[in-house]
Structure 1
Amino acid sequence: MQNQSYDEVKFVEIKNDGLDRAVFDKIVWINNKMNFQNHVGVEVKEVGKGYAILQLKFNEEHANTIGIAHGGVTATLLDAAMGTAAFTTGKDVVTLEMKVNFLAPGKIGSVATAEGRVLHYGNKTIVTEGKIFDENGGLMALATGTYFVMK
């Protein structure tokens, strides 16, 4: 997807929960262009004002040396969820800071669902929270993130 124009990017099935169409289209386009996120297998499922829901199926490529999902993969999913939530404000953002608490292991072969939410929307920064749940609804990880608003 690297050298594709806006019109050439394949739009994926993402539920739009009331976002302005221009903001929604931009989020879809941005997420299609996130090469690392796409390489890992992160999928955006739903976006609405101030929130985003994403999923990732943990596979063998995501495993660490003890056979569970590597913390970097979990952090990537959280950053993607929180960043996508920040994008629902209509602003361009980049990650400034994030803190992750790992609470339970990601099991290889399972699907993790991440929820990102905007907690504070300022002129220069957007503060978010992210949570990852396992297939049974158990909390696997939580994070806070600060995103810099590009001018």
Structure 2
Amino acid sequence: MDFPVHIPFVEQLGLQLVRLDEGESELHLSVQERHLNSWRVAHGGVLMTLLDVAMAHAARSVHRHLPEMGPGVVTVEMKTSFMRPGEGELRAIGRLLHRSTTMAFCEAQVVAPDGKLCAHATGTFKYLRALPGRDRAVKPLASRAAQADG
């Protein structure tokens, strides 16, 4: 399944969107050499990205019925706990716990191939239609349709 928006960093890492349901998402990652830290296991930043993207997509999933899935989200805060090294085929499951019109509160976990928990996170996300960038220029969400046209 394609990600609903174009996210170059996520594509570069090789994350795969497997499921996007009402309030839930699931991503997979096959850990490769490029994902490793000096211990030869998945770098914590890779696990945090998996958790962040899983939560963000869980937050957005409730707007699946809207054109281009409605507003995008930005991470406001995130707390991560690491339990064990990430190796092999990892699964990240994100869940929307609560939302308002402007905020989403989520959790996610990364699970190893044996089903054991590698990492857990909670996060707060803000729903946005556009993002003010450098010199206050407005940056629209990079939709899949815009990527295909460009």
Shorter-chain TM-score category?
0.7 to 0.9
Partner of 2:66: none
1:29 positional shift = 2.9
Distance 2:4 2:21 in 1: 16
Residue 41 (structure 2) pairs with residue 68 (structure 1): yes
Distance 2:103 2:27 in 1: 22
2:76 to 87, 93, 96: 96
Distance 1:113 1:29 in 2: 19
Partner of 2:20: 47
Distance 2:47 2:25 in 1: 16
Q: When the two structures are superposed, what TM-score results if normalisation uses the length of structure 1?
A: 0.77
1:141 positional shift = 0.4
For structure 1, the residue ranges without an aligned partner over 5 or more in a row are 1-12, 15-27
Distance 1:119 1:103 in 2: 22
Matches within 5 A, 1:1-151: 13=1, 28-30=3-5, 33-90=6-63, 91-107=71-87, 110-151=88-129
1:73 positional shift = 0.4
1:130 positional shift = 0.3
Q: When the two structures are superposed, what TM-score results if normalisation uses the length of structure 2?
A: 0.78
How many percent identity over aligned positions?
35
1:89 positional shift = 2.0
Distance 1:131 1:44 in 2: 15
1:93 positional shift = 1.1
Structure 2 letter corresponding to 1:94: V
1:92 positional shift = 2.0
Moved over 4 A (4+): none
Distance 1:37 1:81 in 2: 11
For structure 2, the residue ranges without an aligned partner over 5 or more in a row are 64-70, 130-150
Give the total of aligned pairs: 122
